[in-house]
Structure 1
Amino acid sequence: MFDLFSGLPLAVGFSLVLALTLVLVFEFINGFHDTANAVATVIYTKAMPPHLAVFFSGICNFLGVLLGGVGVAYAIVHLLPVDLLLNLESGRSLAMVFSMLVTAIAWNLGTWYFGIPASSSHTLIGAILGVGLANGLLTGLPIGAGINWGKAMDIGLSLVISPLAGFVMAALLLLGLKKLFTGSKMHKTPEERRAIDNKKHPPFWNRLVLVLSAMSVSFVHGSNDGQKGIGLVMLVLIGIVPAKFVLDPASTPYQIQRTYDAAAHLNDLYLRNEALLRGHLTLKRPVNADLPPAPRCDPQDTLSAVQAVRRSLDGVRAYEDLPPDVRGRVRRHLLCLDDTARKVINLNVLPAGETADLKRLRADLSATTEYAPLWVIAAVALALGMGTMVGWRRVVRTVGEKIGKQGMTYAQGMSAQITAVAAIGVANAFSLPVSTTQVLSSGVAGAMVANRSGLHNGTVRTILLAWLLTFPASMLLSSGLFTLAVLLLGV
C-alpha cells in the first residue's frame, strides 16, 4: 500500500492523501447517515437496545463491503464517459474527485443535521453527473457526450423503481400478515404492547425477524453503498498514480491469458458478423498497432486496438513486467474495446448466441481493469462500519414516528425491512446502485398506508422535497466547484 507514494512529488502525495481521506470521510458520514435508516425500526420497536443494534449493524456493513464485490463500484465509475476515463491526469482527476466529495459530504451533513432521510446515493450520483457535464462543456464536447447516458438511464431507473417497489411490496406484505395473523400481537405498536401486555419487547418470533431483517438491511447496504466509496478510491488512484493501478497488479497468468484470448475472440466475432455490423461499426485492418492510442475511442480503430492488446500481452505472465506506459496503453485499449462492445450489444443486430458470447468477452476484457485492492475494500469497509456506530438518533425518530400519523407496529417494521433487503439484494445482483434510505422509507410509508394509519404530510413533504432537490442541488454544486477548480488551477 505505502509504495504508492514512492517517487511522487510532495504536493501530489499530499493531494493523494487528502483525496483518499475525503473518500473515507464520505463513507464514514454515509455510515451514520444511512445506517440510521437500517436500524430505525429495530430500535423503535424495542427489538434491540440502540447500542447493540448500532454495533451489530456496523459489523454487518463492514462484512457487506468486504463480500459485496466491485460491480456497483464500477457502475458508478462508468457514469463518466470512457473518453474522460481514458484521459484522467492528476490535476483534473483531483479537481473532479474533490468537487464530487465536497458536494456529497456537505449535502449529507446538512440533511443529517435536520434529521431528513435523504439519499447518499442520489447525492453522489448527482455530483458525478454534474462533474461530467461541466467537463464536457469545458472541453467543448456536445452536452450529450459529457456523461455515459446509457449507464445513467439504467441507474436512474433503478433509483426510481426501487422506492416504488418498496412501497408496493411492503404494503402487500403487511396486508398478507394482517390476513394470515388477524389479531396477532405483531400488529401492536410498542406503546400498545407496554400498555396492554405490560411488555417492553416484541413477541419472540417478531423480535427475531426484526433483528435478522435489520442486520440483513445493514449487510446489503454495505454491499451496495460501500462500493460507491471503492469506486471513488479507484478513480483517485488511477488518476494520480496510474502506473501502479491502471491494471490489477495481482492478476494471475491465467487472468492475463483470458484477456489475451478475449481480444482474439472479439476480433473473430466482429469479422464473422461484418455484414451485420456494416454501417454501425466500421472495421478495417490495423495499419500500425504500435501507435499510441488516440485520446478518444474510435470504433474504426477496433481491430488496431485488438492487435495492440495481443502484441502487448503476448507471453506476459505479470503486468508488473510491462513498462508503465505500456500498462496505461493496454488499459486504454481495453476500455475502448469494452465500450465499443457495449455499443454493439445495444444495436440488437447480432444473433442471440453471438450477443451472449460478446457479453462474456466483455467480462473477460474488463476482468483486470475493474478491480480493487484488498486494502481499498478494507479501508472503505472500516470507515462505513465505524460511521454506523455514531450519529443515528436524529433519523431514527423520523422513520419510526414521523412518517405515519401513528407509531409503527411490529408487523410494519418487519414488512419494511424485509422489502428493503429484497429490493437492495436484487439491485446488487444486477450491479445497480440504489438508495437504502429511499427503499426503507418508502417501505415504511407503504406499510403505514396499508394499515390505514395515514401519513404525516409534513414529514413526507420534507422527505420528498429533499429527494427532489438532491439531484439538481448536487449537480449544480459539483459542476460549479469543478469549473472553479479547473479555471483557478489551469488544468
Structure 2
Amino acid sequence: MFHLFSGLEFWIGVSLVLALTFVLAFEFINGFHDTANAVATVIYTKAMPPHLAVVMSGIFNFLGVLLGGVGVAYAIVHLLPVELLINVDTGRGLVMVFAMLAAAIAWNLGTWYFGIPASSSHTLIGSILGVGLANALITDVPLADGVNWGKAMDIALSLVFSPIAGFLVAGCLLLLFKRWWPSSKMHKTPEQRKQMDSKKHPPFWNRLVLVLSAMGVSFVHGSNDGQKGIGLIMLVLIGIVPAQFVLNENSTSYQIDRTRDAATHLQAFYTRNQDAVDHFLALSSNRHDSSHLPEQFHCDPQLTLATIDALRKELTGVTRYQELPAAKRITVRRYLLCLDDTAKKVASLEGLDSRDREDLNRLRADLTATTEYAPFWVIVAVALALGTGTMVGWRRVVLTVGEKIGKQGMTYAQGMSAQLTAVGAIGLANVFSLPVSTTHVLSSGVAGTMVANRSGLHGSTIRTILMAWVLTLPASMILAASLFWIGMQIAG
C-alpha cells in the first residue's frame, strides 16, 4: 500500500491521503447510517441484545465486502462517461473525488441526525451524476454526454423498483404467514408478548429466523454497499495516481494474453457481422490501422478497428504490465475502455441475434478483466470502515423503523417478512451487479407489512421518508455539482 506515495509530489500525496480518508469516512458513516436498518427489526423485536446485534452485523458486513466481488463497484464507476474516465488528470481527479464525497457525507450526516432512513446509495449516485453534469457544463460537452445515461437508467430503475418490490413482497409474505399460522405467537408485538406471556424474547423459531435474516441483510448490505466504497477508492487511485492503478499490475501473462485475444476476436466478430454494424462502426472505411488515431485520444466508434490495431501492437510480447512505461499503461486502459464502451453500444443495435449479443458480452468481460479490479488492501480497508461504522449510531433509525412507520408496534412476523424480503431483493441485485438501497428496501418492506396487517401508517413518518427519497438525488446532485464547480474555479 505504501508504494502509492513513492515519487509523488508532497501536495499530491497529502491529497491522496485526504481523499482515501474521505472515502473511508463515507463508508464508516454508511455503516451506522444504513446498517441500522439491517438490525432495526432484530433489536426492536428483542431477538438479540442491541450490542450483540450490531457487533454481529458489523462482522457480517465485513464478510460481505470481502466476498462480494467488484461488479457493483464498477457499475458505480461507469456512471461517469467513458470520455471523463479516460481523460482524468490529477487536478481534475482530486476536485471530482472531493466534490462527490463531501456532498455525500454532508447529506448522509444530516439525514442520520434527524433519524431519517435516507439512502446512501441515492446520495452517492446523485453526487456522481452531479459531478458528471457539472464537468460537461465546464468543458462545453453536451449534457447528454456528461453522464453514462444508459448505466444511470439501469441503476435508477433498480433503485425505484426495489422498494416497490419490497413493499409488495413483504406484505404478501406476511399475509401468507397469517394464512398458514393464523394463531401463532409470531403475530404478537414485543409489548404484547411481554404482557400476555410474560416473555421478553420471541418464540424460538421466530427468533432464529429474525437473527439469521438480520445477519443475511447485513451480509448482502456489505456486498452491495461496500462495493460502492471500493468503486470510489478505485476512482481516487486512478484519478490521482493513474500510473499504478489504471491496469491490474498483478495480472498474469495468461490474463494479458486473454485481453489481447479478446481484441482479435472482437475484430473478427465485427467483420463477421459487418452488415449489422457497418453503419455504426464504418468498417468499410480505410481507417483501420493505428496511424489514423488522433493525437488527443477520444472514443470514436468509427475508429474501432484502428483502436484494436493499436491495442494489439501495445500488448505484443507483453507478459507483465510492469514492462510497459506508465504512459503506455494509461494508453492501454484508454483503448480497453473505449473498445468496451463501443461493444456495449453495438450489443444494443438491431440486426444482432441473442447468441451474437452473448458472444459480445463475453468478449467485453475478457477486455475489462485487467481494468475492473480492486487490490486486496482496498477491499479490506472498506470492509473495516463499514464494519466498524455498523457498531455505532444505530439507535435513531431503529426507533423510526420499529415504531414510527406503522401506527402499531412491529410484530415478529412483520420483522421476519421485511428482513427475508430485503435479503432476497438485495442478494438478487448483487447477482446482476446493480446498486440498491438497503434503507429503502427494508423500510418499504416494513411499510408493506403494516398495510397488510391493517396497522395503518404514520403519515408524518412516511411523508418524511418519501421526502428524503425524493430530495436525496437532486439535493446531492446540486451539492456535488456546486462543489465541483467551485473546486475547478479554485484549481484554475
Using the size of structure 1 for normalisation, the TM-score is: 0.99
Q: 2:180 — aligned with what?
A: 180
Task: Provide the rounded CA distance (Å) in 1 between the counterparts of 2:272 and 2:180.
Answer: 58
Residue identity opposite 1:339 in structure 2: D
Q: 1:123 — aligned with what?
A: 123
**2:289–2:310 Cα contact (<8 Å) kept:** no
Matches within 5 A, 1:59-458: 59-283=59-283, 284=285, 285-289=287-291, 294-458=296-460
Alignment counterpart, residue 473 of structure 1, candidates 449, 472, 475:
475
Structure 2: gaps (5+ residues): none
Task: Provide the rounded CA distance (Å) in 1 between the counterparts of 2:386 and 2:433.
Answer: 19
Residue identity opposite 1:301 in structure 2: L
**1:293–1:329 Cα contact (<8 Å) kept:** no
Residue identity opposite 2:158 in structure 1: S
Question: Which deviations, in whole Å up to 9, do the C-alpha atoms of 1:73-105 show, x marking residues without a partner?
Answer: 000000000000010111001101100000000
**1:80–1:132 Cα contact (<8 Å) kept:** yes
Task: Provide the rounded CA distance (Å) in 2 between the counterparts of 1:287 and 1:280.
Answer: 18
- Give SS of 2:408's match: coil
RMSD: 1.0
Task: Provide the rounded CA distance (Å) in 2 between the counterparts of 1:99 and 1:288.
Answer: 37
Query: How far did 1:290 drift?
Result: 9.1
Moved more, 323-332 or 431-440: 323-332
Task: Provide the rounded CA distance (Å) in 1 between the counterparts of 2:431 and 2:236.
Answer: 26
Question: Which deviations, in whole Å up to 9, do the C-alpha atoms of 1:174-225 show, x marking residues without a partner?
Answer: 0000000011000000000000000000000000000000000000000000
Task: Provide the rounded CA distance (Å) in 2 between the counterparts of 1:293 and 1:14.
Answer: 32
**2:289–2:309 Cα contact (<8 Å) kept:** no
Structure 1: gaps (5+ residues): none
**2:40–2:398 Cα contact (<8 Å) kept:** yes
Query: How far did 1:304 drift?
Result: 1.1
Residue identity opposite 2:372 in structure 1: E
Question: Which deviations, in whole Å up to 9, do the C-alpha atoms of 1:156-182 show, x marking residues without a partner?
Answer: 000000000000000000000000001
Task: Provide the rounded CA distance (Å) in 1 between the counterparts of 2:268 and 2:145.
Answer: 30
Residue identity opposite 1:307 in structure 2: D
Query: How far did 1:337 drift?
Result: 0.2
- Give the aligned length: 490
Alignment identity in percent? Answer: 71
Q: 2:35 — aligned with what?
A: 35
Residue identity opposite 2:349 in structure 1: L
Query: How far did 1:384 drift?
Result: 0.2
**2:168–2:448 Cα contact (<8 Å) kept:** yes
**1:44–1:396 Cα contact (<8 Å) kept:** yes
Query: How far did 1:287 drift?
Result: 3.4
Query: How far did 1:295 drift?
Result: 3.3
Residue identity opposite 1:231 in structure 2: G
**1:290–1:308 Cα contact (<8 Å) kept:** no
Task: Provide the rounded CA distance (Å) in 1 between the counterparts of 2:415 and 2:489.
Answer: 50
Query: How far did 1:292 drift?
Result: 6.8
Question: Which deviations, in whole Å up to 9, do the C-alpha atoms of 1:321-374 show, x marking residues without a partner?
Answer: 111111111100000000000000111321222211101000000010000000
**2:289–2:305 Cα contact (<8 Å) kept:** no
- Give SS of 2:16's match: helix
Using the size of structure 2 for normalisation, the TM-score is: 0.98
